[in-house]
């Protein structure tokens, strides 16, 4: 199964997810969409792990917390190596160190390797721990034999690695391994790769061990211009790292720091009901909102970002970036220029998701209450939380 020409990262994800579902190649949890797939044969693929020279040499190994890497986590513990597991969505820190009870049997070690075991037998590892990670394991939705990787679209694996670089836990020579089903090894166009994308050195499948020989540089640290204010709020350890790098004289400007906005007004804005976008007269258009940004409102309460992206592509109006604000039932689409944004508005009239007809207009033509006053502290449309690539 190979992606067709001109595809996006999301297209490749959807192809992999659809194929694995149609061929019944995954175990619980199902469906695999929007997940790192827990593929059938994952334990067999992980059996290659201890045979890698990089594994034999490593003392401290970081393994992602997803289900298909459960056996890899067990093998690290069974080899009496230090196992680090990222905290889910990085909410409470970067790492947890898994510490099995004294005299733990293999059965206990297997329990420690589960998601429940990670919660029960772990201790946080702080930024000042001076940890040195010798080997990194990440989950993937798709990966190429060249070492190019696509995750599930939330960017946490890339961010975890960048944070490890920033805290000095890894170096450019630290090997990165991914464990996937054979069907997840596909061609990935190089044009889809960005500076923040993590590449891999080894791919383990149930039938193969692939040494990619990837020469593309791995991320050299956190690219702050790609970090949103919303992400900073959700990930406390990211705020700590930013403070350190700012003190070191680095540029830590965020992707969407407000420009000429009264921050206190945003924090104290009263609760108001979400109102549909009513275009303002040209004379009163908001100059603090980029002309290349399109507002999409009246999203269904249970809408998913993937559904909106699919609809946008179907209408020939895929943006450069999509800022998802699902709880507020809206999104902002960012285009290359004002003309592209205006064309997208024309293409997307009468756009529907489920039973809802969506409200589509230029963001700068919306009333302030449609942009920032729906909830206290709600962001400006030039603020880009949950940015998804298309």
Q: How far apart are CA 322 and CA 360, in angstroms?
A: 14
pTM surpassing 0.85?
no
Strands 293-297, 330-334: pairing is antiparallel
Binning the chain into helix, strand and coil, the percentages to the nearest 5 are: 35, 15, 50
Cα separation values, 292 from 277, 310, 345, Å? 17, 20, 11
In percent, how much of the chain has pLDDT > 70?
84
Phi, psi of 285 (to 5 degrees): -65, 150
User: Cα 327 from chain centroid?
Assistant: 18
Strand partners, 29: none
Least reliable range by pLDDT among 82-96, 193-207, 264-278, 284-298? 264-278
User: Cα 213 from chain centroid?
Assistant: 25
Beta-carbon count within 10 A of 102 CB: 5
pLDDT at 264 over 70: no
Beta-carbon count within 10 A of 284 CB: 9
Contact 73, 98 (CB under 8 A): yes
pLDDT at 270 over 70: no
Name the nearest CA neighbour of 178 among 214, 132, 210: 210
**133 or 345, higher pLDDT:** 133
Contact 328, 374 (CB under 8 A): yes
Tell me the mean pLDDT in the region 268-295. 52
Contact 153, 214 (CB under 8 A): no
- Kindly indicate the confidence band of residue 285, based on its pLDDT and cuts at 50, 70 and 90: very low
Residue identified by tokens 């692939």 is 210
Contact 60, 82 (CB under 8 A): yes
pLDDT tens for 304-328 read: 888 898 889 888 888 988 998 888 8
């Amino acid at each position: 199964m190979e992606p067709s020409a001109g595809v996006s990262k999301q297209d490749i994800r959807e192809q992999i997810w659809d194929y694995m579902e149609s061929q019944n190649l995954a175990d619980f949890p199902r469906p695999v969409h929007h997940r790192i797939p827990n593929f059938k044969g994952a334990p067999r693929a992980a059996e290659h792990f201890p045979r890698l020279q990089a594994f034999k040499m490593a003392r401290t190994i970081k393994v992602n917390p997803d289900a298909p890497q459960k056996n890899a986590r067990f093998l690290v513990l069974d080899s009496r190596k230090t196992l680090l597991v990222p905290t889910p969505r990085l909410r409470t820190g970067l790492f947890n160190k898994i510490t099995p009870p004294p005299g733990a049997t293999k059965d206990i070690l297997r329990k420690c390797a589960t998601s429940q075991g990670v919660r029960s037998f772990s201790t946080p590892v702080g930024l000042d721990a001076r940890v040195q990670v010798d080997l990194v394991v990440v989950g993937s939705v798709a990966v190429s034999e060249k070492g190019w990787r696509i995750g599930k679209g939330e960017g946490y694996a890339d961010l975890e690695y960048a944070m490890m670089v920033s805290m000095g836990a890894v170096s450019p020579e630290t090997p990165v391994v991914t464990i996937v089903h054979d069907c997840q090894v596909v061609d990935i166009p190089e044009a889809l790769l960005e500076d923040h994308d993590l590449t891999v050195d080894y791919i383990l499948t149930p039938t193969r061990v692939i040494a990619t020989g990837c020469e593309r540089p791995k991320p050299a640290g956190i690219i702050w211009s790609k970090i949103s204010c919303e992400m900073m709020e959700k990930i406390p350890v990211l705020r700590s790292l930013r403070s350190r790098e700012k003190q070191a004289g680095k540029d830590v400007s965020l992707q969407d720091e407000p420009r000429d906005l009264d921050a206190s007004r945003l924090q104290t804005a009263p609760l108001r009901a979400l109102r549909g976008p009513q275009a303002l007269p040209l004379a009163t258009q908001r100059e603090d909102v980029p002309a290349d940004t399109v507002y999409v409102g009246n999203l269904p309460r249970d809408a998913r970002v993937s559904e909106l992206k699919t609809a946008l592509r179907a209408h020939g109006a895929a943006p450069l970036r999509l800022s998802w604000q699902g709880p507020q039932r809206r999104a902002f689409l960012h285009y290359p220029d004002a003309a592209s944004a205006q064309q997208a508005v024309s293409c997307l009239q009468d756009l529907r998701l489920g039973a809802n007809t969506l409200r589509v207009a230029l963001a700068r033509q919306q009333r302030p209450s449609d942009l920032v006053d729906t909830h206290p502290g709600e962001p400006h449309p030039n603020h880009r939380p949950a940015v998804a690539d298309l």
